[in-house]
């Protein structure tokens, strides 16, 4: 089969990242693409710092949310709720769920004048309502007047703009010495990697027979986006749910490529952990307007933060059934020099829950070539942030870098699967699944190792690579395996 021609992208063209509502940390780069700005955010628990920040930056005291809503006519938001501590008092998951649902119902009713569920299912869909089950949040699409009611609601703690953006875009397996771990009979067997991306060619030779489960979380927003889930629904779970979107849509080859790097295996190519399974989760929506797609051809795929969080809740619920070792996010947005936990509270909450359950969340640093800042969600402290290197063990020029980087992995000129064939792509998107696959191998090699143990082993044993005055560890899978096994006495 002929090889698909190599495709190279400029740093700007490869900045295919998923936007999060990050406002409190100033951007350090101009927004050349729609998803490169830091979205609006309001934390009602810190009125004085917020107001001061607003005056300093020229933003309104509402975090800029109302201005965005007025300009667009509506705004999608993630809403943090003040839920009574019923669960802690009663010690019951059922009590916690009941308390959360009650607050969600009350806020929806106060915002829209009546609960959409009390009128029609169509009303709830039109309002873009997504109820989270594990973290105290709610996702809504609101008008300026409805947003004002949300801001005034005492049950609302913070409001984060939900902005869509696209996915990020030699023998890399040899470079990270995953082949040596495979030679020692460790290939991720018995574990799975969840890849949250644009959908997957599940019949591709590198992925066929490797699918543990499928799910889809996508958004219909009238005049803005269309769901890519089967039947145009906002959620789907089961066989076919994470089907690959049409390759005529820009970005729809991304998920297959990323997944095959992490867990792919065929007679032609082998990923990092070819013995591991794939939990395939589609979290992107279709956008037809050039104003949303930026420099990428329209139609394109972009992902709402609200769909990403829904995908992570699914990972949390599936973690034991599918034995998930890591969740891969080859996406991101914005530019942050410091940890961004406080300005992405919903994402931070679910990632911390996954970390406590020893499921690693791994995210791409971004492709804007920044030296002191990285994208979100890699900027969340509980996320393993991954920069990209070349096959000469140099930090790639397009890769974001900085103090928040945890590890480095190959991301340049990576040949892997795309729907119907193979292609060579470059980006921190390609570096990230090297780490997710490595974690599956390390979980197999050292089953008792915790999230922190594995992360520390990757950091301690990695080969130091440098850009400017900062060096970070490029992962060495086999060295990390040996260290963990020695510590476990096996």
pLDDT digits (tens, 9 = 90+) for 365-407: 999 999 999 999 999 999 999 999 998 999 999 999 999 999 9
Alpha-carbon distance of 254 to 390, in angstroms, equals: 20
Q: How confident is the model at residue 171 (pLDDT cuts 50, 70, 90)?
A: low
Structure-block tokens of residue 130: 């997504």
Is the pLDDT assigned to residue 36 strictly greater than 80? no
Residue 476 appears among annotated catalytic residues: no
Beta-sheet pairing, 75-81 with 156-161: antiparallel
Alpha-carbon distance of 110 to 416, in angstroms, equals: 50
Which DSSP category does 373 fall into?
B
Choose among 253, 259, 255, 254: nearest CA to 272. 259
Residue 314 appears among annotated catalytic residues: no
Is the pLDDT assigned to residue 334 strictly greater than 70? yes
- What pLDDT shows up at residue 29? 37
Q: Which of 162, 197, 277, 478 is catalytic?
A: 197
CB atoms within 10 A of CB 87: 17
> For 474, phi and psi rounded to 5 degrees?
-85, 125
Q: Which of 225, 429, 434, 453 is catalytic?
A: 429
C-alpha pair distances (Å), 468 with each of 45, 438, 476: 39, 27, 22
Q: Tell me: the pLDDT tens digits for 264-285?
A: 998 878 999 999 999 999 999 9
Sheet of strand 225-227, all strands in order from the earlier edge strand to the far edge: 225-227, 285-287, 300-302
Is the pLDDT assigned to residue 49 strictly greater than 50? no
Q: Which of 204, 225, 227, 254 is catalytic?
A: 254
pLDDT cut 90: percent of the chain above it: 74
Mean pLDDT for the stretch of residues 220-230: 95
- What pLDDT shows up at residue 59? 45
408, 345 contact by CB (below 8 A): no
Structure-block tokens of residue 304: 């709402």
Alpha-carbon distance of 453 to 447, in angstroms, equals: 11
Alpha-carbon distance of 152 to 243, in angstroms, equals: 41
172-488 is a CATH 3.40.50.200 domain: yes
Residue 254 appears among annotated catalytic residues: yes
Choose among 245, 213, 239, 247: nearest CA to 227. 245
Is the pLDDT assigned to residue 27 strictly greater than 60? no
Structure-block tokens of residue 10: 């400029």
221, 126 contact by CB (below 8 A): no
Listed by start position, the domains of the chain span 40-161, 172-488
Q: Which residues contact 348 (CB under 8 A, 6 or more apart)?
A: 341, 342, 380, 381, 382
């Amino acid at each position: 089969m002929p090889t698909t021609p190599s495709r190279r992208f400029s740093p700007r063209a490869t900045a295919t990242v998923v936007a999060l509502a990050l406002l409190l940390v100033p951007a350090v780069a101009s927004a050349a693409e729609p998803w490169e700005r830091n979205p609006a955010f309001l934390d009602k628990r810190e009125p004085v710092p917020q107001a001061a920040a607003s005056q300093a930056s020229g933003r309104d005291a509402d975090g800029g949310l109302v201005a965005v809503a007025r300009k667009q006519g509506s705004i999608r938001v993630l809403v943090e709720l003040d839920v009574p501590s019923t669960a802690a008092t009663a010690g019951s998951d059922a009590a916690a769920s009941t308390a959360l649902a009650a607050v969600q119902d009350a806020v929806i009713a106060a915002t829209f004048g009546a609960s959409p569920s009390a009128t029609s299912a169509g009303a709830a869909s039109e309002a873009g309502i997504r109820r989270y089950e594990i973290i105290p949040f709610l996702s809504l699409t609101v008008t300026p007047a409805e947003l004002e009611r949300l801001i005034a609601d005492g049950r609302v703690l913070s409001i984060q703009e939900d902005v869509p953006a696209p996915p990020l875009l030699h023998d890399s397996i040899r470079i990270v010495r995953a082949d040596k771990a495979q030679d020692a009979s460790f290939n991720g067997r018995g574990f799975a990697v969840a890849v949250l991306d644009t959908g997957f060619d599940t019949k591709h030779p590198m992925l066929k027979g490797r699918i543990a489960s499928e799910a889809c979380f996508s958004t219909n927003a009238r005049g803005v986006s269309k769901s890519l889930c089967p039947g145009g629904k906002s959620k789907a779970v089961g066989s076919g749910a994470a089907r690959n979107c049409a390759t005529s849509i820009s970005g729809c080859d991304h998920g297959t490529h990323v997944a095959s790097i992490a867990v792919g295996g065929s007679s032609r190519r082998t990923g990092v952990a070819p013995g591991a399974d794939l939990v395939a989760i589609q979290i992107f929506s279709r956008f037809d307007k050039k104003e949303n797609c930026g420099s990428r051809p329209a139609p394109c795929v972009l992902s709402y933060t609200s769909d990403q969080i829904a995908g992570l809740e699914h990972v949390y619920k599936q973690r034991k059934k599918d034995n998930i070792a890591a969740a891969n996010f080859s996406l991101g947005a914005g530019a942050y020099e410091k940890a961004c936990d406080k300005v992405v509270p919903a994402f931070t909450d679910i990632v911390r829950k996954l970390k406590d359950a020893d499921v690693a969340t791994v995210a791409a640093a971004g492709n804007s070539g920044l030296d002191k800042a990285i994208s979100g969600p890699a900027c969340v402290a509980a996320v393993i942030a991954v920069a990209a290197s070349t096959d000469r063990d140099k930090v790639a020029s397009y890769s974001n870098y900085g103090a928040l980087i945890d590890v480095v992995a190959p991301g340049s000129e990576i040949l892997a699967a795309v729907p119907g064939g193979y292609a060579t792509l470059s980006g921190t998107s390609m570096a990230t699944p090297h780490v997710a696959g490595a974690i599956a191998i390390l979980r197999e090699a050292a089953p008792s190792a915790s999230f922190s143990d594995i992360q520390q082993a990757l950091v301690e044993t990695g080969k130091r690579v440098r850009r400017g005055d900062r060096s970070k560890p490029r992962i060495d899978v086999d060295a990390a395996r040996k260290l963990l096994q020695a510590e476990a006495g096996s």
